Amino acid sequence: MKCYTAGGPGLAIMRSLRTQPGGLTAGQMAGNANLDRPAVNSAVKALRQRGDVRAAGKISIVRPQNYATLWQATEQGLERLRRTEGQDRTVPPYASLTSRRYQILAALRDKPGGLTVRDLLGITGEDATLKYQTWYGSYLRDFRDAGHVRMAGKTETGWGHAPAFIWDITHQGRIYLTASEGRAAEIEEAAERAAAARAEETASELRRDEALTTTRAKFRGHRPPPHEREPVAIELRNLGCTLEEIGSVFGITREQARLDLLRPVRLPGLRGRPAKRGRRRKAQVRTRICPHCLSIV
């Protein structure tokens, strides 16, 4: 079963019909969902073709010859609505400080009396078109389902000659804003640390390249003896140079560079420490017996 589109008029209409089991007219649904009549009529027609709503009767408006159709949600439409709302919530755990969600909640926090959708559009600088009204209405309904905002009342007249809902932030919404601001500070601090680490890595690479260039120019044209290249190889290794790079500087293989790093640093002109010698064994006297005279030779 396909679910309703998040933020679409069909989802808003089905939520309105669920709260009114007796049915609603197109004008009432337009006022509840903060939509215009053409969008509601088109959405109701599509919902009827899918079997999500049905006509429950007609009521007269102003005069008996002027009537409106009452629409009710079917069991199939309510099941589709439950499946849609059973999905993961569209409200993220944290709101970015540049997102519309944060701007909406921040505007409601700054205005304790509550705001309508058109008031929020004016504060955030968005155009008061149907597209942006639908988006903001979707954000507010998601916040309402998550417990961050509540309906504080209705205005006398609103957009399209229908009353508009007044939205106010809840205590849970204020906690959500505070957590988002704290999360943003943590993200900014982590970004600063990452930038400092990248700068340190870049400086280390520059020092390594400079050391390689200087060493190549110093030992170009001849192969230094081990006692000369061993201290330089250790210094290059500490700067992060690979064995191949160290070997290419001195004109030796990678294995020879590895052995230079394993050997202790030896200074020219100094002999190594003499090895310990044990006590000399006395030579044994070998004797031979003459078989003829049986005397010691």
Quote the tokens at residue 19.
């709260």
Quote the tokens at residue 92.
């993220």
Q: Helix and strand tally (H, E) in the chain?
A: 11, 4
Question: Is 114 within 8 Å of 152 (Cβ atoms)?
Answer: yes
- CB neighbours of 103 closer than 8 A, spacing ≥ 6? 123, 124
Q: What angle do CA 55, 56, 57 make, to 5 degrees?
A: 100
In one-letter notation, the amino acid at residue 70 is L
Fold of the 9-85 domain: Arc Repressor Mutant, subunit A (1.10.10)
pTM above 0.75, yes or no: no
pLDDT of 296: 43
How many C-beta atoms lie closer than 10 Å to residue 241's C-beta? 21
Quote the tokens at residue 31.
């006022």
Q: Can you give the residue ranges of every domain in the chain?
A: 9-85, 100-176, 197-262
How many C-beta atoms lie closer than 10 Å to residue 78's C-beta? 15
- 100-176 matches 9-85 in CATH topology: yes
Q: What is the bridge-based pairing of β-strands 149-154 and 165-169?
A: antiparallel
- What is the C-alpha separation between 136 and 60, in angstroms, rounded? 33
- Of 86, 27, 91, the C-alpha closest to 61 is 27
Helix ranges restricted to H, 147-222: 171-218
pLDDT of 34: 77
How many C-beta atoms lie closer than 10 Å to residue 43's C-beta? 22
- What is the C-alpha separation between 222 and 225, in angstroms, rounded? 10
Q: How far is CA 9 from CA 38, 160, 199, 253, in A?
A: 11, 16, 50, 72
Per-residue pLDDT in tens (0 to 9) along the chain, 297 residues: 566 776 678 888 888 888 887 888 888 888 877 788 888 888 888 888 888 899 888 877 655 556 788 889 888 888 888 777 665 455 666 777 778 888 888 899 888 888 888 888 888 888 878 778 878 887 888 888 778 888 888 887 655 556 788 889 988 888 888 888 887 777 778 778 888 888 888 888 888 888 888 888 888 777 788 778 888 888 888 888 888 888 888 888 888 888 878 865 554 554 545 555 555 555 555 555 555 544 444
CATH architecture of the domain with residue range 100-176 = Orthogonal Bundle (1.10)
pLDDT of 282: 55
Beta strands in the chain (DSSP E): 53-61, 63-73, 149-154, 165-169
